[in-house]
A and B are shown apart, each in its own frame.
Chain A
């Protein structure tokens, strides 16, 4: 992210952006299903929340 912010060349920016996104996807892809389910359940809870926020431990 820090690297991205320091790039001024547009072509270079999108190249690094794509590389970082792919790396993140790969990292998420390799998570165990139970962890992925937790992430999906947080997404579902956020969608059901009218304020669009993730529920906190108090909610």
Chain B
């Protein structure tokens, strides 16, 4: 994981990606107690699919193993989620929190953006961790994010409401 972060920072220095932030299970691990997580979800700032192809080409040319959507970086399966597929990802990376992991600079999604991305995916495992993350969230900010990025296909505020109802 640490080596994967070093590689991501190298990608940033070389201009292959503009910026990135840790999302998914490892971001949940940042805020909560450790849970088993298969891979590292990295949200990247990218405006076109050409940049996304260039990212995969970067790893292919360096003989990195690629399995399905995962690029294996120093033993860690890493999935890249580009910001051009969703304004929520774009906002999440731009407002991510700066952290250091064993001295390595990195960024992690804020708890409010993390909850919004989990509400988008809305799998059983996401629904389980959201109540615990809510304890650390600024609800006013969260509601603003959900209102801004939710739509008919993914009614984020409605999904949050269902989770809150289930807690009563």
- A-side contacts of B167, CB under 8 Å: none
Q: Which range holds the interface residue count of chain B?
A: 10 to 19
Given contacts A37-B1, A41-B1, contact A29 B36 (CB under 8 A): no
- Minimum CB–CB distance from A35 to chain B (whole Å) comes to 8
Judged by a CB distance under 8 angstroms, whether A53 is at the interface is no
A28, B33: Cβ atoms closer than 8 Å: yes
Q: Which residue of A lies closest to B102 (CB)?
A: A34
How many chain-A residues does the 8 Å CB contact rule pick out? 15
Given contacts A33-B29, A33-B30, contact A40 B101 (CB under 8 A): no
Judged by a CB distance under 8 angstroms, whether A16 is at the interface is no
Measured in the bound complex, the distance between the Cα atoms of B101 and A41 in whole Å is 15
Q: Which residues of B contact A (CB under 8 A)?
A: 1-2, 26, 29-38, 99, 101-102, 108
Q: Secondary structure at chain A's binding surface: helix, strand, loop or mixed?
A: helix
B29, A47: Cβ atoms closer than 8 Å: no
Q: Which residues of A contact B (CB under 8 A)?
A: 24-25, 28-29, 31, 33-34, 36-37, 39-41, 43-44, 47
Measured in the bound complex, the distance between the Cα atoms of B31 and A31 in whole Å is 10
- B-side contacts of A34, CB under 8 Å: 2, 101-102
- Minimum CB–CB distance from A49 to chain B (whole Å) comes to 13
Measured in the bound complex, the distance between the Cα atoms of B26 and A43 in whole Å is 13
Q: Which residue of A lies closest to B25 (CB)?
A: A40
Measured in the bound complex, the distance between the Cα atoms of B36 and A43 in whole Å is 6
| Contact pick for A29, options B26, B33, B37, B102, CB 8 Å | B33
